[in-house]
Structure 1
Amino acid sequence: MASVGFDIKFDGLERLYEQFDVSKEKARNVTATAMKATIAKAQQTAQSIVPVRTGYLRQNIVVKPVKISGDTITGEFVASQADYASYVEYGTYKMRAQPYMRPAVADAQPFFYSKVELLLKG
């Protein structure tokens, strides 16, 4: 079964630096910093709510380095080393889903925007 992973992407640095009247480089750096914090928060949330039997799944929710490509900043976290990660997240016909990655992403999105705003204003 495929691993469970999520990308959180931010497009639109142009709009961001125009709105806050900052250089594109500062907007990129602030956004990358906010993305790192957001992915760490998502990882922490997922690890706190994932069902635990042995701890292997929780220990293997990992963060990958933030990628910057033009005006797109991408953060990724995955539970790829546990081959049963997707069974837990999505369920099977024999067991109910126990989502832990999707709620973590949903929780992290508003955090990202507030972190960017805080960093740009400060």
Structure 2
Amino acid sequence: MKANLSFKGIDQLVKHLDKAATLQDVKHVVKSNTADMTAKMQKLSPVDTGNMKRSIKMEITDGGFSGEAGPHTDYSAYVEYGTRFQAAQPFVKPAFDVQKGVFINDLERLLK
């Protein structure tokens, strides 16, 4: 289960960033926000045996310009969305929603 955030106009962003900031700054923002979101997911994750919480990992791809975070258990979607027998216990979407705003603010700060 992954949450994705995409932006249109990346080419314009890169051109502007060449003037305002280095691409290393963007990579740092991606890495730090991915790590923060991973920590938030782990904090919000319901714990029974702790297996799902320990399975939440992050991965930085695309040369540092993309980050993914999420649980790697087969049953995590059932916990996140619930079933007809079990109420939902969301932990991925709330972490994503909080981190999305922080990520956008961090990128906007680079543009100034």
* Fold shared, TM-score > 0.5 on shorter chain: yes
Say how many residue pairs are matched.
Answer: 112
TM-score, normalised on structure 1? 0.75
The alignment-based identity, stated in percent, is: 29
Describe the SS at the equivalent of 1:7. coil
Quote the offset at 1:14 in angstroms.
3.2
CA contact (8 A) 1:7 1:75 kept: no
Alpha-carbon displacement from aligned partner over 1:28-65 (angstroms, at most 9, x marks no partner):
33222111111111111111111111111111110012
Aligned to 1:75: 67
Distance 1:57 1:78, change over 3 A: same
Long gaps (5+) in structure 2: none
Quote the offset at 1:6 in angstroms.
2.4
For 1:75 and 1:97, locate their aligned partners in 2 and report how far apart those are by CA, in whole Å. 26
Q: After the TM superposition, which of the residue ranges 14-23 and 58-67 deviates more from structure 2? A: 14-23
Long gaps (5+) in structure 1: none
CA contact (8 A) 1:8 1:74 kept: no
1:88 correspondence with 2:83: no
Distance 1:90 1:110, change over 3 A: same
Describe the SS at the equivalent of 1:40. helix
Aligned to 1:33: 28
Q: Which has the higher strand share?
A: 1
Describe the SS at the equivalent of 2:4. strand
Counterpart of 1:79, as a letter, is P
Aligned to 1:7: 4
For 1:77 and 1:5, locate their aligned partners in 2 and report how far apart those are by CA, in whole Å. 7
Root-mean-square deviation (Å): 2.5
CA contact (8 A) 1:47 1:61 kept: yes
1:49 correspondence with 2:41: no
Describe the SS at the equivalent of 2:3. strand
Quote the offset at 1:21 in angstroms.
6.4
